[in-house]
Every structure is written in C-alpha cells, then in structure tokens.
Structure 1
C-alpha cells in the first residue's frame, strides 16, 4: 500500500534501528519494594530491554562506532532516547530512596545471622544503590582515564570491605584484625570466604563437643 513504510527483518534486528512503536515508557514492571525484590525487578527490566534489542546501550556492550559517521549518529540517537526515556520512567527513584538505602547499609549488622545471610543482605543493598548511579558513557577511553576508573573501582571495593568487616559480630574480631593486616587488602568476596571458613570450623567443633557431652551423659 502506498504511503506505508516497510522494514526488513534485517532492519528490525539491528539494535540501532528505531521502530515508530519503540517506547521505553511501555516497559511494564512491578513497583520496586526494596532490596529484597531488587534482583527480580532488575531482571524483569533486562528481559524487556533485551526484547527491544536495547539492553546493550544500558550495559555498555553496544559500542559507538569510531569509523562510521552514520552509525555513530544512529548510536547517539538510540542512546539518548533510551536514557531519557528510562529517566522519565523511573524518575520516582529520588534522594529519599537513596538516603534510606544508604542508612540501611550503614546500620546493617550480622546480629547472629550466618555469614552467607549477612553477605547476601549487604550485596542486595550494594547492587540497588549502584543501580541508581547512572554514569555517562565514555566513547574515548584513554590510558589516563583507564587508570582513573581503576582507582575509583579500587576505592569502591575497599569501602565494601570495610562495611562488611564493620558489621561482623564481635566473635570474629581476631579474623577482622588479621584481614586488615593484609597488604594489599583482599576483595570483600575473599574476606567473606575467610570468615566463612572460620564459621565452618566453629560449627564442626561445636558439633564435636555436643557429641562428646552426649556420650559422657549416656554412660
């Protein structure tokens, strides 16, 4: 029919292609309740962006062309549209939400829970807080910029380590002191592994002592 544009299958599979019906405000996800449902909420958004072939603009896997002016222009158009629409769609995430999450993070303590439970709770808060920090895309990464980003990442990981160690129960104070003496400092995942090993050894010793007491009283 005259006047109706036709798009090829190849066109529609290209992530740089924008169909007239493309509208990220149409993303349908349940309202985020907090850190406890953040991962499922995030996964729902990722699936819907993937269906629109636009997830790569968010996770950085779709790169801006450096040798094709037309493709670079198409990339700019798609990238700007996606981030502007996402900002409108999720603009309810404001300072008060960030404040609450940060407050929850710094007040979170182990309080007798297992190391796995404690670390999982921390990780959920870290992940949600980081998702709120939308950083600009860097199209020209220099060696100096790479070193700068690595330094920022190192400070971020160090902060996570200190938060994890700070919230541990006092019974792990010797292990905490030992970890802080490492040079360089270990990752928070490595520190968690060390504490988990100590937790497991204590569990084994506790079971052994209980069995000895049971045998003693059965005589």
Structure 2
C-alpha cells in the first residue's frame, strides 16, 4: 500500500481542491482575448505543477499502473480548459481526449501570428492614448497588454549558440524597455502631466518605466485630493447661499396685508407712514420736492386740491347770504391752504381735517360751481 501512495510533489498528485468542474482562471476565452487567456491558464496550471501535461513534457506512459494516474489528471485538465471557454465557443470545439491536442488546436485557431495581426497590434500601441476619463493605471494596463501580445506573437531573438560573451540579449531587452517608456510618455494626458514628464525626462541617468509609472500615480492622487477638497468647499458655499436665501424669503413681509390707520392706505403700517413721520431723504432724491412722488404715497392728488381751493376762494368772495361760509367752511379752507404748502401736514391741518364733514365739502363745491346771477 505504501508503494502505491503518490508523492505530494508529483504532478500526478491531486490536490484537495482539484475537481473536474473547477474554474481555474478568471479570464474566459471569448475569441479575441486568447493571449490574455492563455497566460492566465498557463500560470494557473504551473502553480499546480500540471503544465507539463499541456506542453507535452509529460507524455502518455505505456505502463498500465502509471497510465491510470495520467488519464485521471489529463481528463481533469481537459475539463478545466473547456470550463474556461465561453459556452458558444466551447460548443464548436471538436472532442479531444488529450489536453495537449486541445491546447494546440486552440492556439492554431485563435493565436494568429500573421502580418495583419502584428500590424494591428503595432497600430494599437501607436494610437494608445490616455483619455480624459482614463486613469493612469488603466492607461498603463492597456498599453502593456498590447506589448505583451506583441511579445507573445513575435518574441525577441537572442543568442542561440551559447557562446556569446557580450550579453547582447540583455542589451536588446534594455532597448525594448526604453521603447516602452517613450511610448508611455507619448500617450499620457499633456494637460495634466506634461510638467512631470519634462522633469523625469531631464534626469540622468534616465528613469525606468516603473519609476515613471509610480511618479504619475502620485501626481494623479494629489490632483484627486485637491479636486475633492475644491468640490467640498464649493458645496459648502452653495449650501450657505441657499440658507441665506431661505432666511431672506422667510423674513420677507407681504406688504399687501399691511394697513396704516393714520392715512388709511395699504402697503405699510403706522411705523412706516411718511405722512406721520416725515419724508426721508431718498424720497427727495428720487421724486424731487416733497410730495412729488406717486399719487399712492401722497395724502391727496393735486387736481382735487386745486378744485377745493378754487371752490373755497369762490365761497369766501361770494355775496349770496344763503351760502355764507360757516365755521366749518373756514376750517376747510384753512386745512386746504395749509395742506397745499407742504406735503407733510402740520398739527393745524390735522385738526382742521378732523372737523371736516362730507356736507361741508359738498356745500363748498356746489357754491363754487353755482353760475353767477344778474
């Protein structure tokens, strides 16, 4: 029994979480994302020591005893690969018993290393720009994804003889990293990060791609903090303005409900009556002399005052005994004469107006308009 036990370090050893229906990758093959999908599947299988079944390093054994273990792991890997493919694409894939044959078929079908595909990737790298709505991290991830696909389709050449002593492969890799760095600078948002780019490009020795990426991330965070603070201050000012407007509207008085018991007019109260307290300076500046404003603010209009004045003068000079001026008539004449001098009535005018009765005005008007006799 001890000889049949599989070592935990062996690729044939099934882990506690290894089940045929497991989803071993968060990336699902949809057709145009084969390179990203194959990288994710490769990393997942290597972490479980089972990628040798896919690349052919672990071949199908001839021994019956080992064949059963191989078939068990192989069938589980076929299930994992199909589980990580979109159902519509998985339904179109022919049946393969070996995971290596399935892997080779998928690579031939979706991994195109043709000229148009390479041209498409190079154009995507050239046109990759950071938009206003794109963060530094999103822009960096997109650009590096294009470079990763290009590297997978067209890997760089290195020394194959093993006799090179100048380390040309490392120099080629440095050139590729420098190309990535400059392409990264070309695509960033100039309105936001041109100053940072100028400072880093002027450094000696030249900065690396990772250092440039970290510097732009810090600048982006600083801008976001400043923008958030500015938006918070604007919101506070706007709320304060709304509060002031609400307070002003709540303290606003409806003048249509006000009434003055002194001048018997609406629109103000006794405390704000000009006839009672005198006319302010702004009234003189706006309407000229006192009493020159709107008729609603004056105690009486000029036309009725002139009519009553003329009627009173006629009454005082007429000789008809039946329309002789009485004491009340004199009071009317005195009140009109005094009131016509100033728009601010004196105590004598108010006293005379208090004794005025409707019949006095009627008699004065009738007497003033009576046609002359003889």
Q: Same fold (TM over 0.5)?
A: yes
Question: Which position in structure 2 is the counterpart of 1:50?
Answer: 51
Q: Deviations over 1:122-142 (max 9, x none)?
A: 011010000112446735254
Counterpart of 2:142 (choices 87, 106, 121) is 121
Question: Which position in structure 1 is the counterpart of 2:32?
Answer: 33
**Structure 2-normalised TM-score?**
0.39
Counterparts in 2 of 1:168 and 1:197: CA distance versus 1, 3 Å: same
Counterpart of 2:113 (choices 83, 88, 93) is 93
* Correspondence 1:156 to 2:176: yes
- Cα contact 2:35–2:152 (8 A) shared by 1: no
Question: Which position in structure 2 is the counterpart of 1:138?
Answer: 160
Shift of 1:208: 0.7
* Correspondence 1:190 to 2:211: yes
Counterpart of 1:108 (choices 122, 128, 135) is 128
Shift of 1:114: 0.4
CA distance in structure 2 between the partners assigned to 1:116 and 1:208 by the alignment = 22
Counterparts in 2 of 1:175 and 1:95: CA distance versus 1, 3 Å: same
Paired positions, count:
164
- Cα contact 2:185–2:197 (8 A) shared by 1: yes
Could you list the runs of 5+ residues in structure 2 that have no partner in the other structure?
1-5, 12-27, 58-99, 241-374
Pairwise CA RMSD: 3.4
Shift of 1:185: 1.5
Could you list the runs of 5+ residues in structure 1 that have no partner in the other structure?
1-8, 15-28, 57-81
Counterparts in 2 of 1:195 and 1:141: CA distance versus 1, 3 Å: farther
Shift >4 Å, 4+ stretches: 29-32, 53-56
- Cα contact 1:119–1:164 (8 A) shared by 2: yes
Higher helix share: 1
CA distance in structure 1 between the partners assigned to 2:189 and 2:232 by the alignment = 26
CA distance in structure 2 between the partners assigned to 1:178 and 1:55 by the alignment = 50
